[in-house]
Amino acid sequence: GFATTPTMRKLRLIWVTSRMHIEIYKYPAWGDVVEIETWCQGEGRIGTRRDWIIKDLATGEVIGRATSKWVMMNQDTRKLQRVSDEVREEYLVFCPRTPRLAFPEEDNGSVKKIPKLEEPADYSRSELVPRRADLDMNQHVNNVTYIGWVLESMPQEIIDTHELQTITLDYRRECQHNDMVDSLTSLELADDYSTNGSAIGKQHKKEHPSLFAFLEIVQHWT
């Protein structure tokens, strides 16, 4: 993720993930040593990004890449906020001077729009509840937990016979400790499996629960 800066702490500002795209070309085996390179850089006036490249240390082969986009939020109001010049100057000193992308190719998977999940979904897992261990320092559910929730609604035969190769996540709304989540998945058969999923939240009220999407996700299994 991103560290905080003196100005961010003073104004009670935090970074939150808005989108993440991960591609794994080869899974490490037991005993393999991997090298992970990561860097951050500015992304317009309202956010920033962090990229990763994963290599097999012995061969130098790139076995995975990832990119993410982050936006700034006020910790008290939970509203998004533009990145000020003062904050930008504080963190850009740690960024490469020349822009660099983990996915430099045009029309790569990291920029493709996630198709809407049509309901009813093929598979579902209902009433998943965040644990305290799932919360990060900003008191919302961490990114890894969302991926775990979506995998809960994946059919077991896909998990047993395929490997997850790519995953794209669009974060729509933060999930907090008192929320309840339904995980929905539908399959699209191609040369191999593609899946489209969502983590749908429920906030219980006395009369009717309100429904909203925390996360939209697309996966590619080979």
What is the average pLDDT score of the chain? 83
Angstrom CA distances, 210 to 121, 135, 179, 216, stand at: 19, 22, 11, 18
Whether residue 28 is predicted with pLDDT greater than 50 in this model: the reply is yes
Task: Point out the domain boundary residue: 49, 83, 111.
Answer: 111
Whether residue 83 is predicted with pLDDT greater than 60 in this model: the reply is yes
Instruction: Say what the pLDDT of residue 199 is.
Output: 56
Whether residue 57 is predicted with pLDDT greater than 80 in this model: the reply is yes
Query: Are 127 and 103 members of one domain?
Result: no
Answer yes or no: is 1 within a domain. no
Tell me, what amino acid is at 122?
Answer: D
Q: What confidence tens digit (pLDDT) does each residue in 153-175 have? A: 888 988 899 888 988 888 888 88
Q: Which of 138, 142, 143, 162 is catalytic?
A: 138
Task: Point out the domain boundary residue: 111, 137, 159.
Answer: 111
Active site residue 138: yes
Active site residue 95: no
Instruction: Say what the pLDDT of residue 68 is.
Output: 93
Query: Are 92 and 38 members of one domain?
Result: yes
pTM: 0.85
Answer yes or no: is 85 within a domain. yes
Domain carrying residue 21: 6-111
Answer yes or no: is 30 within a domain. yes
Q: Which of 21, 40, 140, 196 is catalytic?
A: 140
Task: Point out the domain boundary residue: 111, 137, 164.
Answer: 111
